[in-house]
Amino acid sequence: MRTEDMIVEAIKNGDIIRVLKGENGLSVGFDQMVGAVAPTDWTKVLPIIYKMTESEGTEVILQEFEKGIKALLAGSAEEVYVGVSVFYIQLIKEQRGGSPFAVERVGLAREASKGIAAQEKGLKKSKAWGGEYNEEGLWTEIERYRKLMSDKFNIQL
């Protein structure tokens, strides 16, 4: 089964979190020229999710997507990183007109702020993905996302 089909099946079965985390064969590889600093290439995963709105309905997919992001933001340090990353990429997609829906920014920002605060120590210790080469682990990436979200979208995390 193709990765795209597996992603669609997982989402239909209510497992969007596994998709966003790129777990159990659901990881989408990065182009050769791009260093892997994430568990999956969300710029390729999100269009698969968007395409599902055609068959499943925009509101259904939007609800599952937001529910998945919120669950990640309430999870481990690595899950918070994934949630913040996906939230940011979604905002970029919306800004560029590449998303069939818009997420509820205020609620997601509130959940992101809570998750970041709760996992600060874990984020500083985590050397996963983009945190591998940073003294303060994934915290450095979270700080980068905070600045980007503030500058581009006036969202404070």
pLDDT in tens, 38-56: 778 888 899 999 999 999 9
Orientation angle between helical segments 138-153 and 77-95, nearest 10 degrees: 30
SS3 34: coil
Tokens 């503030």 belong to 150
Average pLDDT of the segment spanning 18-37:
72
In the structure, what pLDDT confidence band is assigned to residue 1 with cuts at 50, 70 and 90?
A: low
Q: Model confidence over 59-74: pLDDT tens digits?
A: 999 999 999 999 999 9
Question: 3-153 domain in CATH 2.60.40.1120?
Answer: no
Tokens 């003294």 belong to 135
pTM (global) more than 0.85? yes
For the chain, the structural domain boundaries read: 3-153
